[in-house]
Structure 1
Amino acid sequence: MVSEPAITVEVAYALPDKQRITRIAVPAGTTALEAACLSGIAEHFPGLDVETSDMGIFGKTLAKPGERVLTEGERVEIYRPLIADPKEARKLRAARAKDAVRED
């Protein structure tokens, strides 16, 4: 029986006060979601649900992490949910800046 060659990848997750990057060896053909599950990173972050979290590779979001096959050296990033809509936050900042100019 011939086994699949292994590749080394990293899985990363961060909170404002804590981060973890785990390097693991996985069989060639492993998906981003599989690597995140295999890494055991969720054990270090109570409440982290790897199965439903958004993921990316080197800052590029993956639409389907369960289908994206990894290559040697890639880093899977698990993203936290947004606490505010970026467009809405930008509008609020612009409105506050506009009000601040009027007050001067």
Structure 2
Amino acid sequence: MAKVWVVYCAEDQQYAIHLPFQQGMTAAQALAQSQLAQKVALPEPLQLGVFGLKIKDPEHYLLNAGDRLEIYRPLKMNPKDVRRKRAAQHPVGRFSRGNQWRKQQKTTE
């Protein structure tokens, strides 16, 4: 029996609900059948995707058997900013005194 998965990752819990696949099922219909909106508050505006590719119009997007319908929520922080902050706290690279500089100092002594 073919299935369609509806997946949502909330801050405190993950949801993966499988539904029986029906020919002509749209993304909006699959979301309604999963009854995920009754279990958890979904983010607004609602952004959906299939296997990491965003869907522009969930009302008309037809799902295939085995698809994973994902519900996206906005990020709390920018991953680039987190990486920059971490790199500033622990500088390792060509012009800083990291591990390679220490090795070089031990060999010259």
Structure 1 residues 95 and 86: alpha-carbon distance in aligned structure 2, compared to 1, 3 A threshold: same
- TM (normalized to structure 1)? 0.67
Does the 8 Å contact 1:11/1:35 carry over to 2? yes
How far the C-alpha of 1:65 sits from its partner, in A, is: 4.8
29, 36, 41: which one pairs with 1:41? 36
- Give the percent of matched residue pairs that are identical in Structure 1 and Structure 2: 35
Q: CA RMSD in A?
A: 2.8
Unaligned runs of 5+ in 1: 1-6
Structure 1 residues 94 and 84: alpha-carbon distance in aligned structure 2, compared to 1, 3 A threshold: same
Structure 1 residues 87 and 77: alpha-carbon distance in aligned structure 2, compared to 1, 3 A threshold: same
Count of residues in Structure 1 that have an aligned counterpart in Structure 2: 94
How far the C-alpha of 1:26 sits from its partner, in A, is: 5.0
Q: How does 1:2-21 map to 2 (within 5 A)?
A: 8-21=3-16
CA distance in 2, matches of 1:63, 1:91: 31
Unaligned runs of 5+ in 2: 98-109
Structure 1 residues 87 and 38: alpha-carbon distance in aligned structure 2, compared to 1, 3 A threshold: same
How far the C-alpha of 1:41 sits from its partner, in A, is: 0.9
Which aligned runs of 4 or more in structure 1 are off by greater than 4 angstroms?
none
Which has the larger displacement, 30-39 or 82-91? 30-39
How far the C-alpha of 1:83 sits from its partner, in A, is: 0.4
Bigger strand share: 1
Structure 1 residues 74 and 56: alpha-carbon distance in aligned structure 2, compared to 1, 3 A threshold: same
Structure 1 residues 73 and 16: alpha-carbon distance in aligned structure 2, compared to 1, 3 A threshold: same
Task: Say which SS state the counterpart of residue 45 (structure 2) adopts.
Answer: coil
Larger radius of gyration between Structure 1 and Structure 2: 2
Which residue matches 1:85? 78
